[in-house]
Structure 1
Amino acid sequence: MNLHGHTQSLPRGRPPGARNKVTRDLREMVRASLDEVGGVAYLVRQAQANPGAYLALLGKVLPKEIAATVETRTYIVAPEQAASMEAWSGQVQVAPDDGEVPPVEGE
Structure 2
Amino acid sequence: GTKTISYGCVGGDFNEVLHAWEKEGGVPRSQRCLDNFKEAFEYCELGDLGFAGDAFMWRNNSHTAEKYIKERLDHVVATQGWCARFPAYRVVNGDPRHSDHRPIIIDTAGAAAVRRN
TM-score by length of 2: 0.20
Report the structure number with the largest CA radius of gyration.
Answer: 1
More helix by share: 1
**More RCO (CA 8 Å, sep 6+):** 2
More strand by share: 2
TM-score by length of 1: 0.21
